[in-house]
Amino acid sequence: MTAHLPIRPAWTCGGCGWEWPCQTRRRELRAEYDQAPVSLALYLAAQLVDAAQDLTHVPAGHLHYRFLGWTR
């Protein structure tokens, strides 16, 4: 199990303190969803919806890139 889980409501990483998903968690998620990129996108989209409710001060474009933009 990873230590790089989101700490809400700030959405920082519990493992390293960076914005979640941090680089380590991104690598882990890529490996975990290696054969299921659509499932990864759906999981991250659900996280994005939750984060948008907590991070109302963060521009939507930043949240989109942070949660989904790196998966391409």
Task: Kindly give the residue spans of alpha helices, DSSP state H, lying in 11-71.
Answer: 23-32, 37-54, 60-67
* pTM for this model (two decimals): 0.92
- 4: which DSSP letter? -
Give the phi and the psi of residue 5 in degrees, each rounded to 5: -105, 155
Q: Tell me: the pLDDT tens digits for 2-13?
A: 899 999 999 999
Q: Tell me: the pLDDT tens digits for 14-57?
A: 999 999 999 999 999 999 999 999 999 999 999 999 999 999 99
